[in-house]
Every structure is written in C-alpha cells, then in structure tokens.
Amino acid sequence: MIPLEEKLLVNVLYRQENEVLKGIDLNNINFEKLIKLASGHLMLPALFFNIQKKKVFYLFPEDFIEYIKNIFEINKARNRILLSEAKELSELFYKNNIKHIFLKGTALLLSNVFEDIGERMVGDIDFIIQHKDEEKVKKVLEKNNYCTSSNHVDLYRVFKPKHLPRMVNKNKTIAIEPHLELLSPKYRGFFNSKKLINTFKEEIIAIKTPNEPFLFDHCIYALQFEDKGFFNSNHSHRSIYDIYKLNCKKSLTIKNISKDIFIKHFFLTIAEFKIFDIPVASSLSSNCSNRLLIQLFKVSVHIENIYVKNLILIQLFFNSELRGRALTKIRIHYQHKTLLKYIYRWLKA
C-alpha cells in the first residue's frame, strides 16, 4: 500500500498536470510528511520544479510552496557553483594530461539530462581516473590546494578502493571524489570500470561524461549494490527520477531486461508506482535467483569483514600512525580499556 503522500509525490514528479490528483484526496494529505518524504529522497528541488512546470501551485499551502521554493533556489545556486568548479577541475587535468570522466550527479548535470539544473541535488564532484594516474592526480590536486577532508591513514591495499579519500579545497565550495573504480571490490564482477576503457583511449578533452546508456546502467547498479537496493528492495526516488530523465526505454534496448536480474529487480521494486510503461514479469526462477544471490552476497560481505579486520589488526603493529589514532580513540572514549581489550571487543563485533 503506497502512502498518500508518496502517491502525490509520484503524481507530481511523473504524471501530467491533469493526473496530479489521480487517487488523491488533498484533505487527507499531511504536508509535513510530504516534506519529510521528499527530503529523505533528496527530491524537494525536483518537487518544486514539477509543481511550477505543471502549474499546480494552487494544490499546496503557501508556506509549503515558499519552503520548497527556497530549497530549490539554494540548490540551483549551489549547482551553478558545482558546474563551474567541475569545469575548472577538468581544465586543470586537461593541462596536466590527465584523462578523467565525470560520474553520477555531476555527469547528469553536465550532460543536460535535466530541464533545469536546480532539479537535481548533488553532493560531491565525482569523476573517475585511470589507475596509472593515481599518484599524478594526488600530486596535481595537492599542488592546487586540495587536501583530504579527514585524518585519512593510507592503509595497505590488496584491492583498489572505489575512490580515493574525499578532498576539499578551502578556496572552493564543492568537495571532490576521485574514483578508481565504479563499485566496491565485491561487486565489480557485475559492473566495472572496463566499460570506460575505450572512452579513456579517446583524445583528451576538457569536459567528458559517459554516454546515456552507461549513466543509466551505473545509476541502477550503484543503487542495487552500494545502496543495497537489491538486498532490501528499497527504492530511491532520486535514482528513479534520474532513470526517468535518461529516457530509459531507449537505454533498455542496449540490454535485455529479462536477462539482467539487477535491472529487472529495479523495475519490479517500483512497479506499483506505474511510472514506466515497461512490462516486467516476476517468475519463480528469478525469485529463487534473487534469494540465492542475496545469500551469496551476505556470505561474501561476512568474509570481507573478517579479512578487513585481520588486515587492519596486522597493520596496527606496523603502522605507527594507525596505532596512535587507535590509542587516542581509546583514551577519549574507552578510558577503562587497553588497546588489547578494545581489539578483542572489536574483533568479536
């Protein structure tokens, strides 16, 4: 059963003006709940944009409209800064002969996927680089006043991390996140950066984004794996809206939806909203496959957690900086514990 507030959100975002009130009694809408729902999905700017576009202001309280209009304008101003800083960053890499491709929300904005740049909320400037350029990128960024946003300790790595530590520049507004991979190590067998290798072989240009079918795939796989959508069947209206704006029917011709269990699961999860006119039927075999994959992932996550803890434990004895941070944390938060007692409790957790 879809809550009335979510049904109204879906109608405003995805339906025509004359269908906004379909199945809705405004007298039963809790507008505070609608604010919380849209905010939780990072959709307040998109909600205002579509209310404005469809000219349905009269359906909402004035203070409601004033609030989300303010959020929209703040977000639009921030996105102007984000695009400007992304272009400056790209020019910096261009001058230093570093190939890079923007990802996620930044790529969507640069690709003009949205009618208005104020629609999409974006966190950091995400981009992917080649493994061989990792050290070069670090030096170029450090030279240009970028530094890690936390007290990062560079641990020994067996697998390439998804991205380098988040970096900030005191003279800039938006943080950046240089990616080495598209997904975490345990998910790379399903979707990895090799899909971008041919793009990296092309001539360097200042602004580069993936094509729309790739953005479509990355959006779904990031939701299904990194945000655990495949495991708990949660949905994200920000991801749904991205797919909606990416003209998913055209993208689906690239992949056979019936053979891709993760894309199929995405559309099955949101089928009750009736946003996309795409017939996706569930089956006993697909349900069994889902359950089997989920169990396999749970086992792999458990193994990975054990592996990571053991790796950190080994490094505690060889990395003085890491050991110092652990001791400081114990001294501040766990006065009654020694390092060995803390490690024992941590390993048991």
Does position 253 have pLDDT exceeding 80, yes or no? Answer: no
Same domain, 301 and 254: no
Same domain, 274 and 230: yes
Which of 210, 241, 262 marks a domain boundary? 210
- 78's tokens: 């921030």
Q: Report pLDDT digits (tens) over 2-20.
A: 899 999 999 999 999 999 9
User: 299 vs 14, which has greater pLDDT?
Assistant: 14
Same domain, 43 and 141: yes
Q: Report pLDDT digits (tens) over 208-218.
A: 888 888 888 88
Which of 165, 189, 210 marks a domain boundary? 210
Rounded CA gap, 169 and 154, in Å?
20
Contacts of 340 (CB under 8 A, 6+ apart): none
Instruction: Give the N- to C-terminal CA distance of the chain in Å, as an integer.
Output: 37
Same domain, 272 and 321: no
Which of 279, 300, 333 marks a domain boundary? 279
One-letter amino acid for residue 187 of the chain: Y
pLDDT-based confidence at 71, cuts 50/70/90? Answer: very high
Q: CA 79 from chain center: how many Å?
A: 16
Same domain, 313 and 257: no
DSSP assignment of 226-270: IT-HHHH----HHHHHHHHHTTHHHHHTTS-TTT-HHHHHHHHHT
Which strand (E) or helix (H) includes residue 77?
helix 62-95
Same domain, 203 and 218: no
Q: What is the pLDDT of residue 83?
A: 95
* 184 DSSP 8-state letter: -
Same domain, 191 and 136: yes
At 163 the three-state DSSP class reads strand
pTM for this prediction: 0.77
Same domain, 155 and 240: no
Same domain, 130 and 16: yes
Same domain, 138 and 55: yes
At 100 the three-state DSSP class reads strand
With contact defined as beta carbons under 8 Å apart, do 278 and 252 qualify? yes
Residue 332, exposed/middle/buried by CB under 10 A (0-12, 13-18, 19+)?
exposed
Same domain, 296 and 269: no
Q: What is the pLDDT of residue 23?
A: 87
Rounded CA gap, 100 and 22, in Å?
45
Mean pLDDT of the chain: 80
* 125 DSSP 8-state letter: E
How many domains does one find in the chain?
Answer: 3
Rounded CA gap, 286 and 284, in Å?
6
Half-sphere exposure of 231 (CA within 13 A, CB side): 13
Q: What is the pLDDT of residue 156?
A: 45
Same domain, 13 and 46: yes
- 141's tokens: 């960024």
What's the average model confidence in pLDDT over 223-227? 83
Rounded CA gap, 275 and 293, in Å?
27
With contact defined as beta carbons under 8 Å apart, do 113 and 119 qualify? no
Rounded CA gap, 326 and 330, in Å?
6
The range of the structural domain enclosing residue 247 comes to: 212-279
With contact defined as beta carbons under 8 Å apart, do 47 and 26 qualify? no
